[in-house]
Amino acid sequence: MQKYAVLMAGGSGTRLWPISKETRPKQFIPVEDDSPMLVQAIKRLCKVVQPEQCFIITTLPLTDITKKIAGEYIPESNILSEPDRKNTAACIAYATLLLRKRYKEGVLCFVPADGYVKDTEGYAEALQLAFDTAERTNGLVVIGVKPAYPSTGYGYIHVEPVTGAGVKTSRVLNFIEKPAPEVAQELVRSDDYLWNCGIVVGTMDAIIRNIKEYIPEHYDKLSDALEKEEDEASVLIEKAYHEIHSISFDNGVLEKCASSLYAVRAFFDWDDIGSLDALAKTLEEDSEGNRVKGRHIGINTTNSVIYGKDIAICTIDIDNMIVAGTKDEVLVCPRNKSQKIKNLVDKLKQQGHADLL
């Protein structure tokens, strides 16, 4: 059965403001080799899936920049546009129905475009096993990675125990979302809890079967729209997106059918780059413990994240801080408070600072 991959690249990346903005979110941020995370994700996938079978789904406002950045790696016609952001359930339902209409059958892999992985060989091995398992079982498969630390910001997959070494599959028992610190400490000590890195693999039939059962509104409205001729379908897809509720595929489908899922136990390094502090982990640490991107001149600056875009950043006598700036905005906060950046972005919206977003 033919393999297809779909990169989900419609997010806004507000937790990395001001480096990430709605018009140029975090999947476009260059990391250690100066290529955007989106490009790195395409290259990882193309170790398993041919470029002609690799797709990107994004929102209409991000379509042009996505084509500009990704067009040399995959066909521009493989860049699909959603009329609105309605979370991953809509994204996966729409892309699956569209690709089934085009190709009739196949095994699909959905991958967030903003994940960060260095071990591309381990990633390819896990992805190939997920494809094979999905085709063999005609079901859904998720990929989980061994936790590196007790994160309270990630979801976890509870899986059945296995014996022996190497990459294997396990039946899923349940999902745990963003646990409390003391719970996260317990989970990371166990071999049977994995970080959920947001990768879902399944045959087209299995994905659509589960969408019909657990989020039938998504199936009914989107499949009805896609049955029409192209011009009429475009209008009806926009109408369908307006009407369906916003829910993640995890909440809408996977958590409800957890007992029928398989999980690949993977060992590649992974981070979803959910904060500026996490973004800094992609940079080499200097002799003062700083992680710097851009032009920086500092005096007695230690253990800090300095991320400048088109500006020079100068610092004196700071420790354990984040200083991130563009030509229009500068953010300063303690490293351990980076999760509050989303709250700051919400405040900017409420106070009418749309020009900064």
Q: What's the pLDDT tens digit per position in 201-238?
A: 999 999 999 999 999 999 999 999 998 877 778 889 99
Shared domain for 151 and 46, answered yes or no, is yes
What pLDDT is attached to residue 73? 93
Query: Which range is least confidently modeled, 127-131, 144-148, 199-203, 287-291?
Result: 144-148
Q: What's the pLDDT tens digit per position in 14-66?
A: 788 998 887 788 888 877 667 888 999 999 999 999 999 999 999 988 999 99
Mean pLDDT in residue range 273-292: 87
What pLDDT is attached to residue 167? 65
Assess if residue 298 is contained within a domain. yes
Please tell me whether the peptide bond between 18 and the residue prior to it is cis, using omega within 30 degrees of 0: yes
What pLDDT is attached to residue 275? 80
305 has pLDDT over 80: yes
What pLDDT is attached to residue 211? 97
Which of 217, 234, 266 is the last residue before a domain boundary? Answer: 266
* DSSP assignments along 68-107, one per residue: HHHTTTS-GGGEEEESS--HHHHHHHHHHHHHHHHHS--E
Assess if residue 112 is contained within a domain. yes
Assess if residue 271 is contained within a domain. no
d(Cα 52, Cα 54) in Å, to the nearest integer? 6
Contact predicate 153/339, CB 8 Å? yes
What pLDDT is attached to residue 164? 64
**Spatial CA neighbour of 266 closest among 164, 169, 126, 134:** 126
Q: With DSSP H G I counted as helix, E B as strand and the rest as coil, what are the percentages for the chain, rounded to 5?
A: 40, 30, 30
Assess if residue 129 is contained within a domain. yes
Shared domain for 198 and 319, answered yes or no, is no
d(Cα 143, Cα 129) in Å, to the nearest integer? 10
What pLDDT is attached to residue 10? 77
Share of the chain above pLDDT 90, in %: 64
Shared domain for 196 and 322, answered yes or no, is no
Strands 193-203 and 168-177: unpaired
Which of 215, 231, 266 is the last residue before a domain boundary? Answer: 266
d(Cα 12, Cα 346) in Å, to the nearest integer? 12
Shared domain for 340 and 238, answered yes or no, is no
What pLDDT is attached to residue 157? 94
271 has pLDDT over 90: no
Shared domain for 128 and 65, answered yes or no, is yes
Shared domain for 42 and 131, answered yes or no, is yes
Number of domains forming the structure of the chain: 2
Which of 217, 232, 266 is the last residue before a domain boundary? Answer: 266
Assess if residue 318 is contained within a domain. yes
Q: How many CA atoms lie within 13 A of 19 on its CB side?
A: 30
Return the CATH number at 80: 3.90.550.10
Assess if residue 56 is contained within a domain. yes
**Spatial CA neighbour of 133 closest among 116, 109, 163:** 109
Domain that holds residue 335: 276-356
Shared domain for 311 and 339, answered yes or no, is yes
Shared domain for 91 and 236, answered yes or no, is yes
**Residue type, position 209, single letter:** R
d(Cα 156, Cα 188) in Å, to the nearest integer? 10
Own/partner contacts of 101-104, CB < 8 Å, gap of 24 or more, are 101/226, 103/2, 103/4, 103/204
Contact predicate 86/241, CB 8 Å? yes
Shared domain for 229 and 303, answered yes or no, is no
90 has pLDDT over 90: yes
Shared domain for 294 and 257, answered yes or no, is no
Which of the 8 DSSP states describes residue 254?
Answer: I
Going from the C-alpha of 280 to that of each of 61, 237, 264, 355, the distances in angstroms are: 27, 39, 28, 26
Assess if residue 289 is contained within a domain. yes
Which of the 8 DSSP states describes residue 253?
Answer: I
Shared domain for 41 and 139, answered yes or no, is yes
d(Cα 250, Cα 175) in Å, to the nearest integer? 9
Shared domain for 53 and 153, answered yes or no, is yes
Assess if residue 24 is contained within a domain. yes
What pLDDT is attached to residue 11? 74
Name 171's bridge partners.
Answer: 262
Query: What confidence tier does 166 reach under pLDDT thresholds 50, 70, 90?
Result: low
Mean pLDDT in residue range 226-253: 89
Which of the 8 DSSP states describes residue 113?
Answer: T
Mean pLDDT in residue range 292-305: 94
**Spatial CA neighbour of 339 closest among 146, 88, 152:** 152
